[in-house]
Amino acid sequence: MCLWFVFLMITRTVSWLRLSRRTETWKTAEILLLRHQLAVLQRRQPRRPNLSWADRALLVTLLDMIPQARRRGLRLLVTPDTIVRWHRDLIRRRWAARSVQGKTGRPATRRNIQALVPRLARENPGFLRSQAEAILACDFFTADLLDGTQAYALAVIEHANRRIRILGVTLHPTGEWTI
């Protein structure tokens, strides 16, 4: 299956290079998309075309390059709703695989800490309000992009005004990036 995807990418890249002399890349992407649809239809499948994951990846990548106004006029094998469903399924499978490993989520808070926080709030109710100007909370989170990659973001919330600030976004977080 992986070799099939590599083969598709190589053949489409060669076709792309052949058509790359044109000034507008979205026209090239549209031609490649239509050629690939023809190739799928010529596989002589008994009923409707059965798209492999490599076909889906290529269709989504090429469709991303075509302007939305032009996309509406294309006759495609799949509807835009189908592409959104593919993306949802991809994200669902990714998170399902991660949750099986047991490494997701925040670790459980110990019971003594759970008891300490309400007690401190009762004993000194104005403490948090008086210190709110100086309190910042940081967090890393991920965002799944349409092409299946993940972007890592560093965010800070200011407790005084509840403003969230995104300090940075990267595809490859390193130790230097967080400093």
Q: What is the pTM (predicted TM-score) of this model? A: 0.43
Percentage of the residues of the chain whose pLDDT score is greater than 70 = 82
158's CB contacts (< 8 A; 6+ apart) are 135, 136, 165
Best CA proximity match to 11, nearest among 27, 35, 45: 35
pLDDT in tens, 147-178: 778 899 999 998 888 899 998 899 988 888 77
Q: What is the 3-state secondary structure (H, E, C) of 81-93?
A: HHHHHHHHHHHHH
> Containing H/E element for 169?
strand 163-170
pLDDT in tens, 115-127: 988 888 888 877 7
pLDDT in tens, 43-76: 766 777 777 878 877 777 777 777 777 777 777 8
